[in-house]
Structure 1
Amino acid sequence: MKIIQSFWTKPTYHNSDDANARFNGGWPNQKYAFYSFALSALTINRFYNQNELHTDDRGKELFNNLLELPYSDIHTNLEKINNYHPKLWAFGKLVSCADQNEPFMHLDNDIFIWNKIPYDINQYDIIAQNIEVNFPGYAKTFKYMLTNFDSVPNELIKNYYKNGKILAHNAGCIGGKNNDFFKELYKTAQDLIENNQHHFPNIDVGIFNTIFEQQLGFAIAEKNNLKVQYLFENIEPNFAEIIDLSTVPLFSKFIHCIGFAKKSIFACEQIEARLQYHFPEYFKNINTKLHRLFPDQGFDIKIEPSRLQNIFNFYDFVENITVEKLLNTKFVIQKDCIIDFNAEPVTIQFTIPYNRKVDKKDLVGWHSILLYFLEPVSVQELYDELSQDEDFIKRFGENITNFKTKMLSFVLEKTLLLEILQPEPIKVLQSI
């Protein structure tokens, strides 16, 4: 099956302070947008021979001539929609998917993979990343649409009143064998847009994108009785399950830096480090070129060498360990962290690795578990102890079965992102 990606440049270069706009692809600056485009395409190419880009003339210049990414083909079919509103950032994807006449999967260019995506083409008409049920953001704009729009697709209205809630499928990963679905979705969304453009000043157009792409897509799929395979089940509204860069590749083999995740300086740091770690020659060559062409985008600001070495050591660590061995690896709080037992609640003081600023956190909730790491302890030992604690069992309830996985994620995050923990007896993550 072929992979396609799309990039309509008009939304990316439309400067907007709208939180749901796509200036710089949603990243803090163009530097991280470039790194994301590259890491996405390069990780996909490790598992798929055919990865095509659908873009416009400006996008072809960017991806082919500037970023030099090895797409199997680059189409400029999005040139035909440059008369549309620049905040309609999802429209280019709908056009790209509607142009397909064979099975495909579209992956956003902020998706990074460490394995093939297991789409069962014999059992399912389409595949989507996950289902969204009453996720925040949709309701206000959808209510305005129902009350004020000149026309709203019947599928949207019927689906909403039939189910009594807003249902959508996240289209970070979207595709399948039913090409007619994507053609119908594009045409219906196009009519919805063109009939109601005069309402754009009164709505959050960014959220409107998720409605005509994802909520409408769900409604049309249900209307046509299509079988949808979801790549992930029971995704939380904060998308924690698919933005966990700390557990790659042990647990996380599909990362989607969705929307708000791009704003995290930790995510930006990890995208840059991952590109440099997995594709060092590409990173070196492209960074030199980008530094020269975009001197104001921070390409001369690099991750501090000692920090980068710690990150690379961590990557080496998780790349070469099994889950079973990791469960039995002891971790301990770094010596330069300060626990204040006189504070109420107890606090931990530490230095943030990426900017060397001192920070402090209350040891409450999940962070209270850090107190168990004053002495070296493994996740398996901690689980064995806490699973016998009645108060703990009451707190976690039926989620106790997922505790080990969540604890491993917590420990790896505190090791990689904040350097609060380090594995014992391995000393490779100590600050230089």
Structure 2
Amino acid sequence: MRAVWSFWSKPYQARKGRTWREPHHHLLAWGLSLRQASKHYPDTMLVTDKAGKALLIDKLGLDFKHVSTDLEALRDADIGWWALGKLYAYSLQDRPFIHLDTDVFLWKPLPLSVAQSPVFAQSPEFHSGVGAECLPAKIEAAFAHHGLSLPPEWEWSRSLGESSFREENCGILGGQRHDFLRYYAQLGLRMVRDPAHARAWQELSNKDGYNMMIEQFMLSACLDYHRIHPQSPYRDVRVRYLLPNWADAFDPAKIAQVGYTHLLGDSKADGAVMQRLERRMESEDREFYRHCLWLGQRMAGT
């Protein structure tokens, strides 16, 4: 199984999405995430753009087996859509893979029952699907206002009228059915980047939460829709989770058992958490730690 990371540099430079406390913490996390996962999955790949390669490969010196700058294709994309880099990386995969966020650290390999499944993700998330203020409803209203259709997977999922909707947390995402994951990723990319949809997206100026809709809700909708579609080539695709419940990601005993850490949300800006990251990398590789400090200071202009 190939271990894949993605880095679209433009949203990072613009501080879109969840940001790190200091630049060197971002660099340290890259080193630790790659170091740990490559112990279990030595076939490693970075999908980035030219600026990302200059930072992570040329300056930081990370040792990926494969490096792609295919995210140059996003050079004119709206940086508010920070999840596009991940979707693009998913769409490129031609073999079983695991994609890891930069803030994910694998202390153990995935259980075989997870790694050998058609699709796996970190955990399911459930959110209220009722009312005009829920995020899917806002997207639906904007598309309807301009006479635009949403993907059939989306429309089918929302037509069920359930009181909540499910997302797949994509701290890790992958599986054996890379063809299905490529289909889903391309669907999400088209939904965002189709010029015909531009008028609808202009009504939703702050894209932050909508990234989760395109990456995580779209995946759930595709999984559920194709599972029951009698003619779908993906009818046998099922999802398994490393953590069966969202709350498990915050349970020290559960995450220690599976050997998995995901620095969710604002934890990347938490001083105590970042001190632990610093101590870990300093003890493992003092030279790399010092290089991250030096490079981080240059990036911060100090």
Bin the TM-score by the shorter chain. Answer: 0.7 to 0.9
Q: Displacement of 1:52 after TM fit?
A: 0.8
Q: Which residue of 2 aligns with 1:48?
A: 41
Over aligned residues, Cα RMSD in angstroms? 2.5
Q: Which has the higher contact order (CA 8 A, sep 6+)?
A: 2
1:210 aligns with 2:204: no
Q: Which residue of 1 aligns with 2:266?
A: 260
1:240 aligns with 2:250: yes
Cα 1:249/1:140, change in 2 over 3 Å:
closer
Report which of the two structures shows the higher radius of gyration computed on alpha carbons.
Answer: 1
AA in 1 matched with 2:95: E
- SS of the residue corresponding to residue 187 of structure 2 reads helix
Q: 2:158 aligns with which of 135, 142, 160?
A: 160
Q: 2:31 aligns with which of 32, 35, 38?
A: 38
Unaligned runs of 5+ in 1: 16-20, 298-432
Unaligned runs of 5+ in 2: 228-236
Q: Is the 8 A contact 1:88 1:206 kept in 2?
A: yes
AA in 1 matched with 2:250: A
Q: 1:148 aligns with which of 118, 142, 146?
A: 142
- SS of the residue corresponding to residue 113 of structure 2 reads coil
AA in 2 matched with 1:44: A
TM-score by length of 2: 0.85
How far does the alpha carbon of each residue in 1:32-82 deviate from its partner, in whole angstroms, 9 at most, with x for none?
A: 211222221122122221111000111111111111111111111111111
- SS of the residue corresponding to residue 74 of structure 1 reads strand
Q: Is the 8 A contact 1:168 1:215 kept in 2?
A: yes
Output the CA distance in 1 between the equivalents of 2:66 and 2:295. Answer: 23
Output the CA distance in 2 between the equivalents of 1:224 and 1:248. Answer: 31
Output the CA distance in 2 between the equivalents of 1:276 and 1:135. Answer: 43
Deviates more, 1:6-15 or 1:117-126: 117-126
- Count of paired positions: 283
Output the CA distance in 2 between the equivalents of 1:230 and 1:249. Answer: 13
Output the CA distance in 2 between the equivalents of 1:273 and 1:122. Answer: 30
Q: Which residue of 1 aligns with 2:7?
A: 7
Q: Which residue of 2 aligns with 1:231?
A: 242
1:58 aligns with 2:51: yes
- SS of the residue corresponding to residue 261 of structure 2 reads strand
Q: Is the 8 A contact 1:119 1:229 kept in 2?
A: no
Deviates more, 1:107-116 or 1:161-170: 161-170
Cα 1:187/1:46, change in 2 over 3 Å:
closer
Output the CA distance in 2 between the equivalents of 1:31 and 1:135. Answer: 37
Mapping 1:310-389, distance limit 5 Å: none
Q: Displacement of 1:131 after TM fit?
A: 0.8
Output the CA distance in 2 between the equivalents of 1:119 and 1:206. Answer: 34
Q: Which residue of 2 aligns with 1:390?
A: none
Cα 1:271/1:197, change in 2 over 3 Å:
farther
- SS of the residue corresponding to residue 224 of structure 1 reads helix
Q: Which residue of 2 aligns with 1:280?
A: 286
TM-score by length of 1: 0.60
How far does the alpha carbon of each residue in 1:75-119 deviate from its partner, in whole angstroms, 9 at most, with x for none?
A: 111111111100111111111111111111101111012111124
